[in-house]
Amino acid sequence: MSAEKLVEVRNLNVTFKAEEGPVYAVSDVSFDLAAGETLALLGESGCGKSVTMKSLMRLHPAHKTRIEGQVKIDGVDLLAMRPAALSALRGKTVSMVFQEPMLAFDPVFTIGDQIAESVRRHEGCSYAEGRKRALEMLERVRIPSAAKRLDAYPHEMSGGMRQRAMIALALACKPKILLADEPTTALDATVQIQVLLLLKELQRELGMSMIFVTHDVGVAIEVADRTAVMYAGRIIEEGPVDQVLSQPWHPYTQGLLAATVHPGMNRSEALPAIPGSPPQLTRQIQECAFAPRCRYRSDACLEPMPAAYQADNRAVRCIHALTAEAV
Amino acid sequence: MTSMTSPGAKENFALAAETAAVSRGYWTTVWTRLVRDPVSVGCALVLLLMVLIAVFAPWLAPYDPSQGTMLKRLSPIGTEGHWLGTDELGRDMLSRLMHGGQMSLLMGLMPVFIAFLVGTSLGLIAGFFGGWINSLIMRTTDVFFAFPAVLLAIAISGALGAGFVNAIISLTLVFIPPIARVAESVTTSVRNLDFVEAARASGAGNFTIIRVHVLGNVLGPVFIYATSLVSVCMILAAGLSFLGLGVRPPVPEWGLMLNTLRQSIYIQPWISVLPGLMIFITSLCFNLLSDGLRSAMDIKR
Amino acid sequence: MSALLRVQDLKKYFPVGKDLLGRPTQVVQAVDGVSFSVEKGRTLGIVGESGCGKSTTARLLMHLIEPDEGRISIRGKEFGRIGGRHPVAELRRQMQMVFQDSYASLNPRLTIEDSIAFGPQIHGVSEREARQQARDLLDKVGLNPNIFIRRYPHELSGGQRQRVNIARALAIKPEIVILDEAVSALDKSVQAQVLNLLADLKKEFGLTYLFISHDLNVVQYISDDVMVMYLGQVVESGPVEQLYQNPSHPYTRALLSSVPSQTPHQRKQHKVLEGDPPNPIAPPSGCRFHPRCELARPICAARQPDNVRVSGAHQAACFALPDSSGYSEYIQLQEVCA
């Protein structure tokens, strides 16, 4: 793995202007993504994982959102980009797959046409060449009888096939970075594992980087090299997936793993649940947002949060991390 | 040390998760949102003013609206004693506009109100029970959709004969089908929600489910739609009067006034425009108020 | 112990599309001959992928959808709308249901108190008493009545709303509670709280659960018995330990090995099953799993397999099972088909 940084995010803040006041969706998020690497943004609903990812394509409506910080994609400053450069970037350098494939496709055009059109727009080739690429992509994502499926409409395909077609569309222009927003959450168990393995395989073949947003610890384990755990708009722990998810440092990560039902649990014992629920993000939380639910909390947790503690290629934002690690 | 504690941290700490916002009812929330919208408040005030003027016209109006002096025919706006001028029979325009509000507002509101009651009931029954009951009710209302609203109003009024009551009946009939259709589609979507299934699973009967669970969720959207129809109804009513199918002269009514003043448009254009302006302002206010109500009721999860 | 709830040969076919004469052109065999029984105080987990008929089964049990065929009996009393059976209203006093979507299953215009007190009032409890019950139940599901009783659903978080839904179901004092994906939409940390709550309530009120879910880990944790469904039919059922340790139907095996690993060192390397679950409108002939099954033989397409006893109460419907009684028949039939 080379040390070349494809994505560099520094102190990213995303604030939504809502009618009732601002919502601080993402605060002070920094991370890097190396070429060929997969990063899983792991967290529960409302933790800011999807918001963070969408900012990497500047998909938030500009008049309702304030984005601060620095985002460099392939060495280019994303936040200073003009609209024309931005639309060239979307789909070409960075591409995205969603949870619901029906939203990515236009229901009135065939799958083949939509992939061909995307290739034509980004690479300036002819329609025929675009269609050839479309066929090649459908075969790549292992859609059976791909030539026939080229002329299928989105609604004519099953959920798993649509998800594959969307991956084909996203990868048609050979992007360097693929952003995946819970792409397997709506799928059945037997189909989910197929799509996860397919994504891993395609990543290896095409040599791209991937950012994978998920709430499912198991999914993160299956696909990612590194993971960043998010809570209340912040990355609270980050590092190689096998270390972070087998020996978590942050009390939240520990709690999340303990609360997730997994095989081999003692059925007669109560689950170690985390009490309470995440805070509202209508206030700029300076202190540790997890403190109210944390069993290690002390008065020092109410002070504004210090910078991340870093060691062994890992980072954690908790003043108790070292003691908690020992527990 | 504690001085460094960031603001709000204490509450966050103490409350853990149960954010203790003061609970307010749905309609209270809608009301506060509506009151916060300057356009809606402005429109509501204008409409209130119009209603008050119309109701108290006999005491407020400077002249008798049906008594005129032929000598003062079509005096321009700003004439002393007649600030808004006089009409083609020398009657005071200000007084006529004030009195005219009674009939015009009544003809705008009453048909929509009756149609709201009847249409919602029909739509609710059709939407909740579905099947052949739905087909019977909705296909019957579909027949009315075959004709443009204006044409339908004129045709029914023509068949029933001119007059205030007949105009109200014909306008009501025009507005029942669209309201019933909206009520039916809202009911159908509410009927399929889990809480209706849950209520059924609790052992509740159809009537109880409709009363407790469906009605409250259907009335809101239908009410918004009905308020947007008031302006249409006022214009249609004015149209009927204009054609001589509504109220009869010399009763003052804005649509009728527009009709009789139309011959004078080359002599005193501004006076001829006045009743039209009143219709325009009122229907605009109803429309804006309906829009404001819609966004106030759109409370997200 | 005899069964508290017994379901025999439940069937529901939905018509799809109509021709000019109003006759259905196609039917979805949503639930096709489902039988099971649950003993008092136990939890039956029902697992399967979308379209397998698990949610339809729940609605058939509650008579929210009228079954085409089948018998539903509680303590030997048969319920239904057919003459001679006990009325559905009585069934609904003994069995209640919690739905997946915590928001859609609460009326947005009613306070929490009104929502919970609604059911008992239907069954003749006075309004004052029903409101007192609502307060007690809120306390039981871990929500402070003084804070929550006058709230509206949109002011609550997903986990809190689901607690309210559980309270609403318990207000009628049922013996059996059907939990239809009741914790699936919740975040993991909240899910654990609700699962603990369900376990506590079960003990306190002596409840019997039907736990419907697509999450195999959660089903393993909460259930005593498990039933695996595929395209409207039960393919395997049995006590949870036996079924998870010795999955005997190829579909159960595939399903269990599709669950993402929870330990980084055991990542999946190979996919276990090709393709999507087929369309229930035109299910495959014979064993409905045979087009995706690696063990499929000609007989699997020709005939439906019967339930075969694996051990004790553990049963599976597959021709490839090496059961002493069924296996010979399987070989025999294979020869016939060949």
Q: Which of C105, C147, C150 lies closest to B195 in CB terms?
A: C105
pLDDT-wise least confident of B20-24, B117-121, B272-276: B20-24
State chain A's maximal CA–CA distance in angstroms.
67
Contact B211, B288 (CB under 8 A): no
Tokens 């058939």, located at residue? C60
Output the six-digit token pair for C219: 């089903």
The stretch B290-299 carries a mean pLDDT of 80
Residue C225 predicted with pLDDT over 50: yes
Within the 204-263 window of chain C, which residues sit less than 8 Å (CB to CB) from chain A?
214-218, 220-222, 244, 254-255, 258-263
Distance from the Cα of residue A223 to its chain's centroid: 11
Q: Which of B2, B6, B36, B295 to mutate to test the interface with A (most CBs of A within 10 A)?
A: B6
The stretch C112-130 carries a mean pLDDT of 90
CB-based contacts of B139: which residues, under 8 Å, 6+ apart? none
CB-based contacts of A293: which residues, under 8 Å, 6+ apart? A252, A255, A274, A275, A276, B16, B17
Residue A1 predicted with pLDDT over 80: no
Contacts of B217 in chain C (CB under 8 A): 107-109
- Tally helices (H) and strands (E) across chain C: 12, 12
Output the six-digit token pair for B244: 């001589």
H-type alpha helices, chain C: 54-61, 88-94, 112-122, 127-140, 145-148, 158-170, 188-205, 216-222, 240-245, 250-258, 298-302, 324-337
Among C113-122, C149-158, C283-292, the range with the most confident prediction by mean pLDDT is C113-122
Residue B1 predicted with pLDDT over 60: no
B118-164 pLDDT per residue, tens: 999 999 999 999 888 988 999 998 888 888 888 888 888 888 888 88
pLDDT of residue C166: 94
pLDDT of residue C205: 92
Contacts of B6 in chain A (CB under 8 A): 285-287, 302-304
What subunits touch chain B, counting only 3 or more CB pairs under 8 A? A, C
**Cβ of B203 and C93 within 8 Å?**
yes
pLDDT of residue A327: 44
Distance CA B51, CA B35 (A): 20
CB-based contacts of A11: which residues, under 8 Å, 6+ apart? A28, A29, A30, A68, A69, A70
pLDDT of residue B21: 43
The stretch B229-257 carries a mean pLDDT of 81
Distance CA A33, CA A180 (A): 14
pLDDT of residue C167: 94
Q: Yes or no: is domain C3-246 CATH 1.10.760.10?
A: no
Which residue type sits at A162?
Answer: R
Q: What chain B residue is nearest to C62 in terms of C-alpha separation?
A: B201
Contacts of C118 in chain B (CB under 8 A): 199, 202, 204, 212
Contact A131, A118 (CB under 8 A): no
The stretch A87-104 carries a mean pLDDT of 83
Q: Which of C55, C66, C118, C147 to mutate to test the interface with B (most CBs of B within 10 A)?
A: C118
Contacts of A229 in chain C (CB under 8 A): none
Which residues does B contribute to its contact with A (CB < 8 Å)? 1-2, 4-6, 8-10, 12-19
pLDDT-wise least confident of B238-247, B275-284, C42-51, C218-227: B238-247
Distance from CA of C87 to the nearest CA of A (A): 37
Residue A315's DSSP bridge partners are A238, A310
Contact B184, B134 (CB under 8 A): yes
**Cβ of C172 and B26 within 8 Å?**
no
Q: Sketch out chain A's domains with CATH numbers.
A: 5-93+209-264+271-326 (3.40.50.300)
pLDDT of residue B19: 42
Using alpha carbons, select from C258, C247, C252 the residue that is nearest to residue C229: C252
Using alpha carbons, select from C106, C97, A231 the residue that is nearest to residue B212: C106
Within the 127-166 window of chain C, which residues sit less than 8 Å (CB to CB) from chain B?
144, 147, 150-152, 154-155, 157, 165
* Residue with the larger pLDDT of the pair B4 and A290: A290
Distance CA A78, CA A52 (A): 13
Output the six-digit token pair for A39: 């990063």
Mean pLDDT of all residues belonging to chain C: 86
* Residue with the larger pLDDT of the pair B16 and B71: B71
The stretch B208-224 carries a mean pLDDT of 88
Contacts of B26 in chain C (CB under 8 A): 108-109, 152
pLDDT of residue A262: 81
Residue C1 predicted with pLDDT over 60: no
Q: What chain C residue is nearest to A186 in terms of C-alpha separation?
A: C50
Report residue C43's pLDDT band, with 50, 70 and 90 as the boundaries: very high
A176-206 pLDDT per residue, tens: 999 999 888 878 888 888 888 888 888 888 8
Contact B3, B266 (CB under 8 A): no
Residue A313 predicted with pLDDT over 70: yes
Q: Which of A197, A221, A227, A268 to mutate to test the interface with C (most CBs of C within 10 A)?
A: A221
pLDDT of residue A98: 84
CB-based contacts of B145: which residues, under 8 Å, 6+ apart? B177, B178
Contacts of A275 in chain B (CB under 8 A): 16-17
Q: What chain C residue is nearest to B29 in terms of C-alpha separation?
A: C152
pLDDT-wise least confident of A65-69, B74-78, B239-243: B74-78
- Indicate the length of chain A as a whole number: 327
**Cβ of B203 and C109 within 8 Å?**
no
Q: Yes or no: is domain B22-297 CATH 3.30.230.30?
A: no
Residue C165 predicted with pLDDT over 50: yes
Q: Count the neighbouring beta carbons within 10 Å of the beta carbon of residue A307.
A: 9
Contact B100, B254 (CB under 8 A): yes
Distance CA B123, CA A222 (A): 52
Output the six-digit token pair for A272: 């170690």
Local structure of B263: helix, strand or coil: helix
pLDDT-wise least confident of A112-116, A118-122, B270-274, C316-320: B270-274
Contacts of C107 in chain B (CB under 8 A): 195, 199, 212-213, 216-217
Contacts of C147 in chain A (CB under 8 A): none
How is B161-227 classified by DSSP, letter by letter? -SSHHHHHHHHHHHHHHHHHHHHHHHHHHHHTSHHHHHHHHTT--HHHIIIIIIHHHHHHHHHHHHH
Question: Omega of the bond prior to B250 within 30 degrees of 0, cis?
Answer: yes
**Cβ of C154 and B299 within 8 Å?**
yes
Contacts of C273 in chain A (CB under 8 A): 190, 194
CB-based contacts of C256: which residues, under 8 Å, 6+ apart? C216, C244, C247
Dihedral angle, C-alpha C302, C307, C309, C314, nearest 10 °? 130
CB-based contacts of C129: which residues, under 8 Å, 6+ apart? C120
pLDDT of residue B245: 83
Give the helix/strand (H/E) hosting B124. Answer: helix B93-129
Contacts of C115 in chain B (CB under 8 A): 195
The stretch A296-305 carries a mean pLDDT of 85
Contacts of C105 in chain B (CB under 8 A): 193-195, 197-198
Rounded percentage of chain C residues whose pLDDT exceeds 70: 93
pLDDT of residue B131: 85
Output the six-digit token pair for B263: 């011959």
Contact C115, C164 (CB under 8 A): yes
Q: Which of B2, B5, B16 lies closest to A292 in CB terms?
A: B16
Contacts of B17 in chain A (CB under 8 A): 275-279, 292-293
C262-311 pLDDT per residue, tens: 777 777 766 677 777 777 777 888 888 888 888 888 888 888 888 888 88
pLDDT of residue C335: 54
Local structure of B100: helix, strand or coil: helix
Count Cα neighbours of C177 within 13 Å in the Cβ-side half-sphere: 24
**Cβ of B212 and C118 within 8 Å?**
yes
Distance CA C99, CA B9 (A): 36
pLDDT of residue B22: 46
Mean pLDDT of all residues belonging to chain B: 81
**Cβ of A222 and C214 within 8 Å?**
no
Assign 3-class secondary structure to chain A. CCCCEEEEEEEEEEEEEECCEEEEEEEEEEEEEECCCEEEEECCCCCCHHHHHHHCCCCCCHHHEEEEEEEEECCEECCCCCHHHHHHHECCCEEEECCCHHHHCCCCCCHHHHHHHHHHHHHCCCHHHHHHHHHHHHHHCCCCCHHHHCCCCHHHCCHHHHHHHHHHHHHCCCCCEEEEECCCCCCCHHHHHHHHHHHHHHHHHHCCEEEEEECCHHHHHHHCCEEEEEECCEEEEEEEHHHHCCCCCCHHHHHHHHHCCCCCCCCCCCCCCCCCCCCCCCCCCCCCCCHHHCCCCCHHHHCCCCCCEEECCEEECCCCHHHHHHC
Distances (CA, A) of C38 to A101, C9, C30, C182: 39, 15, 22, 19
Residue B13 predicted with pLDDT over 60: no
Distance CA B35, CA B39 (A): 9
The stretch A261-283 carries a mean pLDDT of 82
Count how many pairs of residues, chain B against chain C, have C-beta atoms within 8 Å: 78
Which residue type sits at A173?
Answer: C
Report residue B3's pLDDT band, with 50, 70 and 90 as the boundaries: very low
Contacts of A277 in chain B (CB under 8 A): 17
Q: Which of A28, A290, A294, A302 to mutate to test the interface with B (most CBs of B within 10 A)?
A: A302
Ramachandran angles phi, psi of B38, nearest 5°: -60, -35
Distance from CA of A93 to the nearest CA of B (A): 36
Which residue type sits at B183?
Answer: A
Mean pLDDT of all residues belonging to chain A: 86
Distance CA A287, CA A295 (A): 16
Identify the burial level of A326 via C-beta atoms within 10 angstroms of its C-beta, where 0-12 means exposed, 13-18 middle and 19 or more buried: exposed
pLDDT of residue C333: 55
Distance from CA of C238 to the nearest CA of B (A): 29
Contact C64, B201 (CB under 8 A): yes
- The DSSP symbol for B147 reads S
The stretch B105-126 carries a mean pLDDT of 92
Residue C323 predicted with pLDDT over 70: no
pLDDT of residue A172: 87
**Cβ of A293 and B1 within 8 Å?**
no
CB-based contacts of C71: which residues, under 8 Å, 6+ apart? C6, C7, C8, C9, C78, C80
**Cβ of C168 and B198 within 8 Å?**
yes
Give the helix/strand (H/E) hosting C21. Answer: none
Contact B282, B51 (CB under 8 A): no
Output the six-digit token pair for B35: 């009151």
pLDDT of residue C322: 67
Q: Which of B18, B23, B29, B202 to mutate to test the interface with C (most CBs of C within 10 A)?
A: B202
Q: Where are the domains of chain B?
A: 22-297
Edge-first strand order for the sheet with C208-213 is C95-98, C176-180, C208-213, C43-47, C225-230, C233-239, C314-316, C308-311
Local structure of C189: helix, strand or coil: helix
pLDDT of residue B300: 54
Ramachandran angles phi, psi of A29, nearest 5°: -100, 130
Residue B17 predicted with pLDDT over 70: no
Distance from CA of A185 to the nearest CA of B (A): 22
Distance CA B125, CA B112 (A): 19
Distances (CA, A) of A90 to A54, A171, C195: 11, 12, 42
A147-162 pLDDT per residue, tens: 888 888 888 888 788 8
Q: Which of A45, A274, A283, A301 to mutate to test the interface with B (most CBs of B within 10 A)?
A: A283
Distance CA C92, CA A96 (A): 47
